Structure 1
Amino acid sequence: MENISTTYTNFILVGLVEMESFRFLYALLTFAVYSASFVVSFMIVYVTWTEESLHEPMYIFICGLVLNVMFGSSAYLPKLLIDLLYKNATISLSGCLFQAFCMQSYAAAEVFTFTAIAYDRYLAVGHPLRYPTLMTNLTCQRLLLAIWVFVFIGICGVVFLTARLTFCAVNINNVYCDTMSLLRLSCGDITVNNIYGITWTLFITISPMLVIIYCYIRTIVICFKLPGEASQKAAQTLVTHVIALFIFLVGAMFIAFRYRLSSISLSVTAHVVISMSGMSTSITVNPLIYGLRTKALRIRIARNLQNIFGNSK
C-alpha cells in the first residue's frame, strides 16, 4: 500500500497501459466486438418488437436477455475504445463506481433472466395446456421488471458501501472497474463490504442455479416422454438456452478465477486476458447463438436484412 494519509479519487487502469503498444489494433478489435454484439442484439429486439407473431413469453425473455447484453457491453466497450484511441488510462472514483454498478447489474440480471427462461421452458414443456394462463406476456414482463428492480437495489448496496471507503492505492489491474478491484485498494475496514458482498454473491448464484438445475432436469425428463417431433423441438430450444447459459457461466468463472489468484504473482497481462475473456465471450457469442439457433428469429432477421439491403440497391 502507498501512503495511508493520502486518499485517492482517481485511478489508473493498468490494463490500458499494457495495451498501449498495440492500442489501435485493440481498438479495432473492440469496435468489431461491440458492433457485432450491438447490431445482432438490436435486430433481435427489433424483430421481437415489430413481429406480432413473436409476442410470446419465450421471445420476450430472449429480448430481455439481449437488451441486458446491450446494456452490459455499452457499460465498458465504448469507454475502452475511446481510452485506447486517446491513450487515456485514468478514471475518476465516480466514473469507476458507475461503471462497476452497470457491469455488475448486467451480470446479476443475466443470471436471473436465465433462471426465468429455465422456469418458462419447464412450464411450456411440463404444463402445455396450462402454460398460456401460467405464463402470460404480462406475467413475463412483470418478471423482467422485478428482476431489474431487485438487481438495481442489490447492486446499489454494493456500490454505496464501496463509495464510503478511502483508497490508498491507484492501480487497477484491469481495463474496467469493479467493486472487488476497489476493495483491494482500500485502506479502511471492509468487514461490512465483505459480509454484504459474500451474502449477495451467494444469493445471486446459489438460488438461481438451484432453480435452473431443477427446471432443466425436469424438462429433460419430460422431453424423453414426448412424441418424436414434439420432443425434438423442445430439446432444440432447451439446448440453445443451455449453450447460452454455459457460455455466460464460463465467462463468470474466468472473472472469479482472476480474483482467487490475487494472492499469487499474476501478471497484469494475465489479469487483462482473463477479465476481458470473461466479459466479452458471453456479450459477443450469446446474441449470435439466439439469432442463429432460434428459427423464428433467424428467419425474421434474415428477412429484415434482405429488405434493408434490397431497398438500398
Structure 2
Amino acid sequence: MENTWNVSRNLILLGLVEMEGLKSLYCVLSIVLYSSIVLLSIIIVAIVVADTRLHEPMYILISNLVLNGIFRSSTLFPKLIVDLVTSSTTITYGNCMAQTVFISVFALYEMSTLTIMAYDRYLAVCLPLRYSMLITNEKVVIFILGSMVVVIIIPLIAMILTLKLPLCGNMLNNIICDNMSLIVLSCVDSSISQLYSASVLVSYLSVTLFVVVFSYIQIFHVCLKVSGASRRKGVHTLVTHLLNFSIFLIGLLFVFIRYRLGSIKLPISVHALLSITALIIPPLFNPLIYGIRTHGLKMKVTQYLEKLYCWPK
C-alpha cells in the first residue's frame, strides 16, 4: 500500500476541538505557564554564565537541564497558543512528525542529563578528594555531546519506521503529536515499530536508571556513615536531586499509563493530560527546586532580586 495519505492530508487534533469552548482560559493559562518556565530557566542560566565561580560541573549540568526544559516545553506551548488564538485544530503530517521527534529527543536528553548529574554528585559525595580529577568541565561537555548524539539517533530511527506506516485516519486523541498516536492510526501491522520503541525505551531506561539508583544508594550509604555538617550536606544534595528525578519519573509514568491504556476508550481530555504532564511539570519545577535548594544559586538569585528592589534583605 502506498503511503500517499501521509503527505497529502492534515491531522486533526481532537484535544484542540474539545478546548474550543474555553480557549481563552486555556490560552491565558498556557501563556502564564510558558512565560514562567522561560523566565525562571533564563534566570538560572544567566546567573551561572555571569558568575565565573559557578563555572563548575554541577552548575553546568543544572543550566543544561533547565535549558532543555525551555526547549521541551517549546514543543507544546507556542503552537498550542497559536492554535487557541486562531481556532486551528489541525497539524500537517510533516509538522506532526517533527513535533514527535523533538518531544522524544528532549525527553531522552533530560534523562541523560539527570543521569550525568547523579554520577557527578556520587563523585562529589563519595570520592571528594578525587572529584576534581575524575570530573571536569571538559568531561562534562563530552558527556553532554555524547548523550546528544544518542538521543537524536533513537527518535530518528523511530520516525523512519513510522513514516513507512500508511495511515487510515486523521484524528488524534490529543493536543500534540506523539509516536504512539500515529501508530494507532496505522492501516497495517505496526509490530516492528512498536517493538523498536519498546525495546529501545526499556534498554535506555535500564542503563540510566541503574546509574542513577547506584549513585543515590552510594550517597545515602555515605550519609549514614558521616555525621554533623557532612551528613546534612549529603542529605541535602540527595533530597534535591531525588525531588527532580521524582518529578521526571512522574511525567514518565503518565506517558506509560497512556501507552498501556491506548486500546481502552478514554476521554480525550485524559489522553491530553497524560501526554502533556511531562512537558509542563519538569520544566516548571526544575529551575524552582535548584534555585531554592542549591546554595550557590540561591545566594546569587537572592542578590539579583535585591538589586531589583523586589526582595527583602
Smaller-chain TM-score bracket: over 0.9
Secondary structure at 2:165 match in 1: coil
2:11 aligned counterpart, secondary structure: strand
1:19 to 2:22 alignment: no
Q: Which amino acid aligns with 2:296?
A: A
Q: Distance in 2 between the 1:101 and 1:278 partners? A: 15
Residues 1-313 of structure 1: matches in 2 within 5 Å?
Answer: 7-8=5-6, 9-308=9-308
Deviation per CA, 1:245-300, whole angstroms, max 9, x where unpaired?
10110111011101211222211122122223333111212221111221211221
| Cα separation, 1, equivalents of 2:177 and 2:81 | 15
2:255 aligned partner, one-letter code: I
Instruction: Report the Cα distance in structure 2 between the residues aligned to 1:117 and 1:5, rounded to whole angstroms.
Output: 43
Over the residues paired in the alignment, what is the CA RMSD in angstroms? 1.8
- Say if 1:12 and 1:89, in contact at 8 Å, map to a contact too: yes
Structure 1 position 178, deviation (Å) = 0.8
Aligned counterparts of 1:187 and 1:301: Cα–Cα separation in 2 = 54
Kindly state the Cα deviation for residue 198 of structure 1 after the two structures are TM-superposed: 1.4
Looking at structure 2, the residues matched to 157 and 100 of structure 1 have their Cα atoms a distance apart, in angstroms, of 12
Runs of 5+ consecutive residues of structure 1 not aligned to the other structure: none
**Cα separation, 2, equivalents of 1:223 and 1:177:** 44
Code of the aligned partner of 1:201: L
- The alpha-carbon deviation at position 303 of structure 1 amounts to 2.2
SS at match of 2:274: helix
Moved more, 4-13 or 105-114: 4-13
Q: Which amino acid aligns with 2:274?
A: I
Taking the aligned partners of 2:102 and 2:3, their CA distance within structure 1 comes to 31
The CA distance in 2 between the partners of 1:151 and 1:293, in whole Å, is 29
Normalization by structure 2: what TM-score? 0.94
Alpha carbons 1:6, 1:168 under 8 Å: kept: no
Distance 1:135 1:119 in 2: 9
SS of the equivalent of 1:117 reads helix
* Contact 1:12/1:171 (8 A) holds in 2: yes
Q: Distance in 1 between matches of 2:138 and 2:4?
A: 53
C-alpha contact 1:111 1:204 (8 A) present in aligned 2: no
Q: Which letter does structure 1 place at the counterpart of 2:5? A: T
Distance in 2, matches of 1:6 and 1:49, equals: 49
How does the TM-score come out when normalised to structure 1? 0.94
Partner AA of 1:165 in structure 2: L
Does the CA-based 8 Å contact 1:174-1:268 persist in structure 2?
yes
Q: Measure, in 2, the Cα distance between the counterparts of 1:5 and 1:95.
A: 17
For structure 2, the 5+ residue unaligned runs are none
d(CA) in 2 for partners of 1:199, 1:177: 21
CA contact (8 A) 1:126 1:222 kept: yes
Amino acid of the structure 2 residue aligned with 1:65:
L
Cα distance, 1:5 vs. partner? 9.4
For residue 149 of structure 1, report the CA deviation from its aligned partner: 1.2
Given that residues 14 and 89 in structure 1 are in contact (C-alpha distance below 8 angstroms), is that contact kept between their aligned partners in structure 2? yes
Q: How far, CA to CA, are the matches of 1:253 and 1:148 in structure 2? A: 23
Letter in 2 for 1:250: I
Partner Cα distance (2:4, 2:156) in 1? 26
Contact 2:165–2:186 (8 Å) recurs in 1: yes
Q: Deviations over 1:153-175 (max 9, x none)?
A: 11111112112221111111111
